[in-house]
Amino acid sequence: MSAEATNPEAHPEARPELRRRGRSRLDLRRLGRAALLGPTSRDRLPDAIGHVAEAHRAHHPDADMSILRRAYLLAESSHRGQMRKSGEPYITHPLAVTLILAELGAETTTLTASLLHDTVEDTDVTLDQVRAEFGDEVCFIVDGVTKVEKIDYGAAAEPETFRKMLVATGNDVRVMSIKLADRLHNMRTLGVMRPEKQARIAKVTRDVLIPLAERLGVQALKTELEDLVFAILHPEEYEGTRALIAAHAGERDPLPGIADSVRTVLREAGIGAEVQVRPRHFVSVHRIARSRGELRGSDFGRILVLVGENADCYAVLGELHTCFTPVVSEFKDFIATPKFNLYQSLHTAVATPEGYVAEVIVRTRQMHRVAEAGVVALGNPYATATPDATATPDAAADPDEERVDPTRPGWLSRLLDWQQSAPDPDTFWTVLRAELAQDREITVFRADGGTLGLPAGASCIDAAYAQHGEAAHGCIGARVNGRLTSLSSPLSDGDTVQLLLAQDASSGPSAEWLDHARTPAARIAISRWLESHPDRAMATTTAARAPLSVVGVRGGGANAVADLPDATVRLAGCCTPVPPDAVAGFLVRGGAVTVHRIQCAAVAQMRAVGRTSVAVHWRATADCRVTLLAESFGRPHLLADLTEAIAREGVEVVSATVEPPVEGRVRHTYTLQLPDAAGLPALMRAMRDVPGVYDVSRA
């Protein structure tokens, strides 16, 4: 199945790079009916699934075809006499769906279930019969697909239909694989339905199934579904794009010549590679035309380079950028940082001496298979040591026990979590579409070493609910990469986040959290809490923070001495240096010398404006003043406990400032007189040991 067919009506189901040499191109729309006209001997593989068997053997040469034969015979006999709305025998539908999956490389169990996916719903065949004949694994998948199909696809039922589909998919992604192939074949034959029904099905396909295909990495299905939806929902733009492609077909195409040049460069460099020209599909051409205006010949396709190893990908990239002029802005490395849907490739663009710009994709053959087939290429997630498709894995031994597909992507796990909390189908539908619109995912690390998968743009609030569930209502702050930050702070890929929970069980979120929550789980949980606490929802929970009042020592330099006779020495209040800090002095107005720690940002500013530098050293006396910031959870008697801890260390409190609480957190500023600067680390440890205090730092 090609992910980039230039004509969606042609539907080139067989991918050239995956077909055996000499194998003919297949037309799935005509395959089933034509095959049924041939002989169907009961003592050999039926001719009707000969193409399915051939496609399956191309990926799995040692597959047991007898299982497919038995599945086809049961499906054909069960559906005998049933017709599709197009007038074709109904068996053509499961055959076409199965061939789609076979071309993608699905394993035998998936193909067996695909042949049988409508038998339990539409015929007298029962799940017990399927289990007895084909084993628990096939039965489990057929049951999952049946549960999806039992709901009427009316406008009101659509949200609940897809909720059930997600639940079934979460247990085994092969259920979704069959559902996507089923929808693709139905979209191909949608012309027999009324225009309004075509539009409704196309909209649902656009809003949910195409994003799901993208997230499962099944690009071969996704791109053809896009073209079919495009033709139904935007017929005028579709015809305009068709005219563009038809006009290009009559012109000289520069891409084959560029591909020949790439082959020559790689051959001379000793890199074994297969170079192909990949035509863009209709929607891709339409998008390029809208963004670039007038199209040139090289805009109608891309060059694909397939190699054997990961290292060869970068070798190809080096040769391309050496022998052609690279377009640096077009370079993307999805090998080092794969997409959330398993996709890996190098993307670049090169300019030729003739002025053409050609986009180039470089990947290994295994990457190509995964890029086309996504989760279908992962095979059976419950495979046992033996290749027997009817073997019963441990996960399926108890039909009442929930099992989780080990290949299930993180985003799908999140969907399954929050869909249970969605209060009604309309909310579920709205949030589902918003979630699927997120096309990029980030990974952040938890303080305990685990990871969280979140959509791009997620904040600390989203991380809190992803990690702690409803306990995140009491979250009051976070550390990101070791630095304290607010819950509204957005996260980046690779960040380490430590979430801080309040000790007060009555703590809860504010309405402002909804402005920063991106994940459905967080938004639904916050909304439900606010609905159950209307008094808190109406109140303003974030108090304005008073200006930070740091009391520095500007009247004297304590035990700091400047190498400038009779100069007044002042310790900077911005960084409060103490012995044995490395310091720098600068001459300011009035002939005074202000002393900063070397790390203070003011040092660079002083030098930038040309302030005179003055050497400064510490006296032998050890006493000093310092300003400390303490951040804590709000609780009674906190100020008393902190000042008591300071007094136990023999330190004098010169001044103290306590700011209004913000999101349950309190910030204290202390200016302290220490008898010995060496006691500063012990003092800070003593303050951190006070219950509720989670950070003490120098001002």
Q: Note the pLDDT of residue 568.
A: 79
Q: Note the pLDDT of residue 306.
A: 96
The whole-number average pLDDT for the span 589-605 is 82
* DSSP3 helix / strand / coil % (the chain, rounded to 5): 45, 15, 35
Query: For the residues of 446-483, what is the DSSP string, one character each?
Result: ETTS-EEEEETT-BHHHHHHHHHGGGGGGEEEEEETTE
Residue with the bigger pLDDT between 347 and 566: it is: 347
Cα–Cα distance, 66 to 47 (Å, whole number): 13
Q: Note the pLDDT of residue 414.
A: 60
Residue with the bigger pLDDT between 628 and 10: it is: 628
Residues taking part in catalysis: 121-122
Q: Note the pLDDT of residue 4.
A: 39
Task: Provide the whole-model pTM.
Answer: 0.62
Cα–Cα distance, 19 to 499 (Å, whole number): 52
What are the start-end ranges of the E strands in 352-402? 357-364
pLDDT band at 360 (very low <50, low <70, confident <90, very high): very high
Q: Note the pLDDT of residue 437.
A: 61
Q: Nearest-CA neighbor of 140 among 407, 391, 410?
A: 391
pLDDT above 90 coverage of the chain, percent: 21
pLDDT at residue 339 greater than cutoff 60: yes
CB 583, CB 595: distance < 8 Å: yes
Q: Note the pLDDT of residue 645.
A: 87
CB 203, CB 210: distance < 8 Å: no
pLDDT band at 432 (very low <50, low <70, confident <90, very high): low
CA 642 to chain centre: 44
CB 388, CB 136: distance < 8 Å: no
CB 340, CB 311: distance < 8 Å: no
pLDDT band at 430 (very low <50, low <70, confident <90, very high): low
Render pLDDT for 666-676 as a digit per residue (tens, 0 to 9): 888 888 888 87
Q: Note the pLDDT of residue 159.
A: 56
Greatest CA separation found in the chain? 112
The most confident of 164-168, 401-405, 458-462, 660-664, by mean pLDDT:
458-462
Render pLDDT for 623-640 as a digit per residue (tens, 0 to 9): 777 888 888 877 777 788
| Strands 593-597 and 583-587, bridge-based pairing | antiparallel
Query: Which of 68-82, 430-444, 676-690 has the weakest average pLDDT?
Result: 430-444
Q: Nearest-CA neighbor of 439 among 401, 411, 475, 467?
A: 411
Q: Note the pLDDT of residue 351.
A: 92
The whole-number average pLDDT for the span 165-192 is 81
Residue with the bigger pLDDT between 565 and 459: it is: 459
Q: Note the pLDDT of residue 419.
A: 61
CB 297, CB 348: distance < 8 Å: no
Residues 6+ apart with CB under 8 A from 312: 271, 272, 273, 364
**Tokens at 157, concatenated:** 């039922």
| Strands 357-364 and 652-658, bridge-based pairing | unpaired
pLDDT at residue 262 greater than cutoff 50: yes
Calculate the average pLDDT of the chain: 77
Neighbour tally for 601: CB within 10 Å: 10
Q: What DSSP designation does 117 have?
A: T
Q: Note the pLDDT of residue 599.
A: 83
Q: Nearest-CA neighbor of 374 among 498, 523, 221?
A: 221
Whole-angstrom CA distances from 421 to 414, 415, 425 are: 12, 10, 11
Render pLDDT for 518-550 as a digit per residue (tens, 0 to 9): 887 788 888 888 888 776 555 444 444 443 343
| Strands 357-364 and 301-307, bridge-based pairing | parallel
Question: Which residues are paired to 630 by β-bridges?
Answer: 668, 696
pLDDT at residue 555 greater than cutoff 70: no
Q: Note the pLDDT of residue 336.
A: 83
pLDDT band at 41 (very low <50, low <70, confident <90, very high): very low
Task: Tokens 């996504």: give the residue.
Answer: 374
pLDDT at residue 475 greater than cutoff 90: no
| Strands 569-571 and 593-597, bridge-based pairing | parallel
Contacts 24+ apart (CB under 8 A), 153-159: 153/201, 153/204, 155/200, 158/204, 158/429, 159/425, 159/426, 159/428, 159/429, 159/432
Neighbour tally for 280: CB within 10 Å: 20
SS (HEC) of 264-305: HHHHHCCCCCEEEEEECCHHHHHHHHHHHCCCCHHHHEEEEE
pLDDT at residue 425 greater than cutoff 70: no
pLDDT at residue 318 greater than cutoff 70: yes
The whole-number average pLDDT for the span 347-375 is 91
pLDDT at residue 86 greater than cutoff 90: no
Cα–Cα distance, 501 to 479 (Å, whole number): 12
Q: Note the pLDDT of residue 382.
A: 61
